[in-house]
Amino acid sequence: MERFVQLHLLTAYPPANLNRDDLGRPKTALVGGAKLLRISSHTLKRAWRTSEFFKPFENEQLMGKRTKRIGEEFVYPSLHTLMPKEEAVGWTRDILEAYGELDKAGKDDIDKKRDIWLKQLVFISPIEERRLKEFIDNLVKGLQGQPNDYIAEIVQLREARDKAKGETKKKTHSQLIERFKQSLLVETPKA
């Protein structure tokens, strides 16, 4: 097991637009009996990621995107021109399940865009983004009638899932999502 040192530091900051608590007040910490402003680590990490200092270290293979909106940004726009909205949303939600749990639209979401969002932020690498775009291009071509065995297999799995009931439906759905994962996600080597 590797040894490492983990430091937890508090730094005093002048009044600024710091992150806030649930009441809208700047976050504070009690240090040596004095109340000081504090800034949480996720705020610092974002500042570092977006800083000019960090730009030279960006590597296309390493720097990806953190987003909940993969469906809105990549999948749905390509599919909604080919099919009715409900079907395009269905395909988008199926594909998104490869990345994680889906969000659900609330009453205040008039356009129901959250129907094609993920519940949590996910990191999508440039390689995975390319894979997704290629997959969507192949899916669009396959749905337009160009022969593609892989896309035909996915369409058949999806149709079988939609016709099935009970445990068979769950099993077929799991197989479908697993096929999407194999196509879209990059496996990280186990240490």
In the three-class reduction of DSSP (H, G, I as helix; E, B as strand; rest coil), residue 66 is classed as strand
Residues 95 and 23 occupy one common structural domain: no
Residues 86 and 159 occupy one common structural domain: yes
Q: Which comes out higher in pLDDT, residue 96 or 47?
A: 96
Residues 103 and 136 occupy one common structural domain: yes
Residue 166, pLDDT score = 92
For residues 18-34, average pLDDT: 78
Separation CA 138–CA 132 (nearest Å):
10
Which residues on adjacent β-strands are paired with residue 37? 28
Residue 60, pLDDT score = 62
Domain hosting 173: range is 65-184
Confidence category of residue 157, pLDDT binned at 50, 70, 90: very high
On the question of pLDDT at 178 being above 60, the answer is yes
On the question of pLDDT at 46 being above 90, the answer is no
Ramachandran region, residue 103 (left: φ > 0; alpha: ψ -120 to 50; beta: rest)? beta
- Cα separations (Å) of 32 from 6, 37, 41, 52? 22, 13, 21, 34
- Percent of the chain at pLDDT > 90 equals 37
Residues 18 and 76 occupy one common structural domain: no
Q: For residue 191, is it within any domain?
A: no
Ramachandran region, residue 112 (left: φ > 0; alpha: ψ -120 to 50; beta: rest)? left
